[in-house]
Amino acid sequence: MKAFVVDRYGRKNGVRAGDMPVPELHEDDVLIQIHAAGVNPLDSKIRDGEFKLILPYRLPLILGNDLAGVVVRAGSRVRRFKAGDEVYARPPKDRIGTFAEFIAISEDAVALKPETLSMEEAASIPLVGLTAWQALIERGQLKQGQKVLIHAGSGGVGTFAIQLAKHLGATVATTASAANAGLMKQLGADIVIDYRKDDFAAVLKDCDVVLDTQGGDTLERSLQVLKPGGKLIGIAGPPDPDFAEQMGASWFLKTAMRFLSYRIRTAARRRDVGYSFLFMRADGGQLAQIAKLVDAAAIRPVIDRIFPFESTQEALAYVEAGRTKGKVVIKIR
């Protein structure tokens, strides 16, 4: 099968188009013919080796972290899917590889795709949808009447998270450029802060939850807008000891993560708020709930561009430039 492959970590090595064997099917797996794949900043970070300590992949590695397609075969113990089902998924972190014609993944990670969406639209959702769901609902426990700040509202995670937070009944603030303010309002943002000229920490206060996609200085200043007991959830790091525990990290890695997150955790404690790092996990059950929201028109995908499969390298470069509105998708079939 055709695929886009990483042979050696590092931006200058890039990805190459090549032929790879069709993956083997385990008894709990479904083999999916991929019609479309979402492109995420995570893909470039994996290619560059930024996660090699916490995600020790064997090279050569097929890149790609979300998909929509059709089940062509089901393992002997699969009960929920059959050949011909139209599905979407974020593969488990140790079985990525959606920039390819086929993928085999456990049925637990898969859901029937939203009926109202095309393959390309459906492929744009899994990674950002699960990130927003796990940040706002699981970690943040966001409720009606609460106030949330979502950083970088025009990005893939942001466009989804704004709509989910609004569906939950929260007051939604976001940071975006003035050019994207109209889109932010359409998606449900109540307060749009122009990050180029306004300081969000001077504008906002008493937030219950902050979803940070930026890290660094933005992450630290986000503590200032939270009320006591509020929650800061970061997806750009630094990883914390709880994350190290979840992934069963070695003593060395646990120590490193404790050290890396010490400053932000200490600053959070001083303000009587919580900090946690989220590395989204695959979850077919949550994707099934997201599909219901999409089919009920509570959430719509926001797609910036669709690239043909042979232009996968250009799609990665476009996402890396950091100016996308919503998601970029590769059309494979």
Q: Any idea what the CATH number is for the domain that residue 58 is in?
A: 3.90.180.10
SS3 state of residue 294: helix
Q: Which domain holds residue 269?
A: 127-277
Same domain, 176 and 79: no
Domain shared by 150 and 204, yes or no:
yes
Q: Using CA atoms, how far apart are residues 284 and 49, in angstroms rounded to an integer?
A: 27
- Per-residue pLDDT of 177-232, as tens digits, reads 999 999 999 999 999 999 999 999 999 999 999 999 999 999 999 999 999 999 99
Q: Can you tell me the distance from the alpha carbon of 271 to that of 262, in angstroms, rounded to the nearest whole number? A: 14
How many folded domains does the chain comprise?
Answer: 2
For residue 130, give Cα distances in angstroms to 49, 77, 138, 219, 297: 23, 25, 10, 21, 18
Q: Is residue 162 part of a domain?
A: yes
Say if residue 208 is in the same domain as residue 165. yes
**Pair of tokens at residue 203:** 């504008």
**222 plus 256 within the same structural domain:** yes
pLDDT digits (tens, 9 = 90+) for 217-260: 999 999 999 999 999 999 998 999 999 999 888 999 999 999 99
Does 51 fall in a domain?
yes
Token pair belonging to 57: 């992949």
Bridge partners, residue 83, by sequence: none
**β-strand 29-39 against 327-331: which pairing, if any?**
antiparallel
Looking at the fold, whether 142 and 269 belong to one and the same domain comes out as: yes
- Mean local confidence (pLDDT), 59-81: 98
130, 65 in Cβ contact below 8 A? no
CATH value at residue 146: 3.40.50.720
Phi, psi of 249 (to 5 degrees): -70, 155
- Of the listed ranges 40-54, 126-140, 191-205, the one predicted with least confidence: 40-54
- My answer on whether 49 and 150 are in the same domain is no
Residues 110 and 12 in one domain: yes
Asked if 125 and 286 touch (Cβ cutoff 8 Å), the reply is no
Query: What pLDDT was estimated at residue 54?
Result: 83
**CA–CA gap between residue 59 and residue 50 (Å, rounded):** 14
Band (53; pLDDT cuts 50, 70, 90)? confident
- Inter-residue contact 36 to 331 (CB < 8 Å): yes
